[in-house]
Amino acid sequence: MCYNDRAMQTRFRVVALIGKYKSPEILPSLLALADWLAGRGLEVVVDTLTASHATDLPLRVLSLDDIGREADLAIVLGGDGTMLNIARTLAPFDVALAGVNVGRLGFLTDVSIDTMFETVGAMIDGRHIVERRMLVEAEVRRDERPVLQTSAFNDIVVSKGAVGSLIEVQVRIDHQFVCALRADGLIVSTPTGSTAYALSAGGPILHPSLSLLTLVPVCPQTLSIRPLVVSGDSMIEIEIIDARDARAHFDSHSHLELQEGDRIVVRRCAHGVRLLHPSDHDYFHMLREKLRWSERPGR
């Protein structure tokens, strides 16, 4: 189950720093944080892609898989997209993740770079909230053979391509027929992804502690078809019935051109993501701030 645990404390020994891809401008902040952590007696490592932006980096360089095996905590300096990519890779190792926001929204990377040392220091000392979030895995089957297996933290999207024609799919949940859908697309979203594309398409916001999935149609031809919320333990099958130019996207990190008869099977992953938040983290305050719920019209 997903949960928040304000009491859980972890002793950190090895901390990995991972920077936003192709963003050498974050190196000064990353190196300053590395020096500060080393001064706290922690071993600091960095991933290979971040290290490629610097010469004579005074840190041990590891692949992401090695970071998963060795690090107790990975601090991501970037935006939500960077965190999504790193979370999928490190989730099987159950490495704790914290994010310093140098992007735009910062739903997942909620440590301000302006208070980075103070906030990270409190986290290292055990003053943090631990939150476990679900991942989903997907298998695309063609002629009953798997052609792609991958995972997603936000969502899996089946959508029309460049031709612009509607796609037609059949949806089953736990082998039970749900509907035939003609639409621009269909989004299967985790609670984390409920504030991303699914929200823009009219889906509900799910609290991240919930074990739920949403199916959100994108511009359906039949207007009575509405978003559907199901158990996080459900198995969702999407069969492509008519698709002259259909594609499947997985967190936008990978995609696959689809053919008629393809089936996308979506399940909950056996492992999840362990996020650390500052001790004063308030999910609803974050929503008000990021989605500007409290702004008055005209201001």
- Active-site residues, by number, are 80
**Euclidean distance between CA atoms 85 and 251, whole angstroms:** 8
Residue 130 region by backbone torsions, left for phi larger than 0, else alpha for psi between -120 and 50, else beta:
beta
| Exposed e or buried b per residue across 99-111, where buried means at least 16 C-beta atoms within 10 angstroms of its C-beta | bbbbbebbbbbbb
Residue carrying structure tokens 């979030």: 133
Question: Please, which residues have CB within 8 angstroms of residue 54's CB and are 6 or more apart in sequence?
Answer: 24, 27, 31
Q: What three-state secondary structure class fits 245?
A: coil
**Euclidean distance between CA atoms 42 and 166, whole angstroms:** 54
> Under a CB-based contact definition with an 8 Å cutoff, are residues 173 and 196 in contact?
no
Distance of CA 180 to the CA centre of its chain: 28
**Euclidean distance between CA atoms 94 and 102, whole angstroms:** 24
